[in-house]
Amino acid sequence: MRAAVTTRYGLPDVVEVREVPTPTPADNEVLVRVRASSVCFGDRIFRSGPLLMRLLSGFRPRHPILGVDLAGTVETVGPGVTRFAPGDAVYGARGDKFAAHAEFACVAEDGFIARKPATMTFEEAGTVFVGAACSLYFLRRANVKPGERVLVHGASGSLGVFAVQLAKHFGAHVTAVCSSANVHLVRSLGADDVIDYTAQDFTDGGPVHDVIVDVLGKAGFPRSLRALKPGGRYLLVGFSGGLGGIARALVTGGFVHLRGRARFVNGAAHPKQADLVFLQEIGGTGTARDHYAELADSVWTQYAYARNAVATPGHHGNALLSRFPIVRHENEDISAHAFESRGMLHCVLKPGPRMPELHCLNV
């Protein structure tokens, strides 16, 4: 099978499409022919290899094939599998085992996998774990109640778009913080109020929020306390800063937690299979939808296309990948002001020998 393989840390061009052995499902595993996956911030971190990652995982990538989310059809099943059969349309995730960026991937029957709702496309279902399941995990830890005020900072990213919708599903009044380019997007997801961080400081309104969801720590801690009610819950969902910034946030958060000023919640998400069923139910009724990234039906030929899109700061979430050859590509700086760092990826594709070139823009 073909897979996107990373044998060393570095920029997007370290990823290569190679032929690798097709995995064989264990007794309790399902072999999935992957129709869609996603490229998320975690993939970028494991590919680029910042110092902390190298200290924890070694100086060569621990996971040569990245990718967490997946959706596709069951190819074969292990002898002990009873819930799935070849041909079933499924979705789920590989979790911390990665390896979803390939034509085939194995998932344990009792792991994060379920039948794909008929109302969801493979592309929509292929983004659920990183975005929806992780957001659900943290919101449940915060025990969000109807009528509470929830602020989501980073509301246009792959986690934030689900955090907005799930908080609304739980009955909260949601304030979304994003850049001016994404205001329309987060409003369409159901946010009650939207703050453009390029024009307004989200702490100006004072401590009025019961819960703050800080995606990748971009809101800043303890600065965010100015917008959080005493005793409120601060959810630090992932990190984007260096080792020093992470240490300061954890130490300060622990101190604030012990003093009772706020409940500081962080750490790795641990979704359960039941969460997938819950998301399947509300997704099937149209309550939650994703701002998804589409993956070609077969493995893409130039994987750097997706990586360039995701590596650009200020992205919406996951990237568009192409199954067709990329003739040329370039990244353009289209930042509107000094507070934004935004790029536009321009790619020229060649769909076929008798087809005209196709120009794709990814902002």
pLDDT (0 to 100) of residue 240: 61
**Confidence band (pLDDT; 50, 70, 90) for 60?**
confident
Q: Over 60: is that where the pLDDT of 225 sits?
A: yes
Extended strands (E) in 109-261: 113-115, 149-153, 173-178, 193-196, 209-215, 228-237
Other C-beta atoms closer than 10 Å to the C-beta of 325 total 13
Tokens of residue 44, six digits:
């970028």
First to last CA, the chain: 31
**Residues 115-126: what's their mean pLDDT?**
86
**Residues 99-113: what's their mean pLDDT?**
94
Q: Over 60: is that where the pLDDT of 137 sits?
A: yes
pLDDT (0 to 100) of residue 214: 92
Tokens of residue 53, six digits:
């990652």
Contact 344, 362 (CB under 8 A): yes
In the chain, % of residues over pLDDT 70 = 80
Q: Over 80: is that where the pLDDT of 249 sits?
A: no
pLDDT digits (tens, 9 = 90+) for 331-360: 776 665 554 556 677 778 888 788 888 888
Q: Where are the domains of the chain?
A: 1-127+292-363, 132-265
Question: CA 63, 318, 107 angle in degrees (round to 5)?
Answer: 45
**Residues 249-257: what's their mean pLDDT?**
70
The chain-wide mean pLDDT, for the chain, equals 81
pLDDT (0 to 100) of residue 246: 63
**Residues 86-115: what's their mean pLDDT?**
92
**Confidence band (pLDDT; 50, 70, 90) for 323?**
low
pLDDT (0 to 100) of residue 133: 86
The amino acid at 88? D
pLDDT (0 to 100) of residue 309: 37
Predicted structure pTM score: 0.72
Distance of CA 208 to the CA centre of its chain: 28
Q: What is the CATH number of domain 132-265?
A: 3.40.50.720
Other C-beta atoms closer than 10 Å to the C-beta of 358 total 14
Q: Which residue would you say has higher pLDDT here, 177 or 301?
A: 177
Q: Which residue would you say has higher pLDDT here, 151 or 256?
A: 151
pLDDT (0 to 100) of residue 248: 67
Q: Over 60: is that where the pLDDT of 266 sits?
A: yes
Q: Which residue would you say has higher pLDDT here, 53 or 4?
A: 4
**Residues 313-342: what's their mean pLDDT?**
60
C-alpha span between 89 and 70 (Å, rounded): 11
Best CA proximity match to 159, nearest among 302, 12, 292, 327: 292
Q: Where are the alpha helices (DSSP H) in 192-239?
A: none
Tokens of residue 200, six digits:
């307004």
Q: Over 90: is that where the pLDDT of 320 sits?
A: no
**Residues 33-61: what's their mean pLDDT?**
83
pLDDT (0 to 100) of residue 244: 59
In the chain, % of residues over pLDDT 90 = 42
Question: CA 300, 316, 8 angle in degrees (round to 5)?
Answer: 50
Helices 160-169, 134-142: inter-axial angle, 10-degree rounding? 50
Cα 85 to Cα 88, 118, 229, distances in angstroms? 6, 17, 50
**Confidence band (pLDDT; 50, 70, 90) for 194?**
very high
**Confidence band (pLDDT; 50, 70, 90) for 299?**
very low
Coil, helix or strand at residue 288: coil
**Is the domain covering 1-127+292-363 a CATH 1.20.1250.20 domain?**
no
Best CA proximity match to 286, nearest among 129, 130, 144, 117: 117
Best CA proximity match to 140, nearest among 249, 253, 233, 41: 233
Q: Give the pairing of strands 173-178 and 149-153.
A: parallel
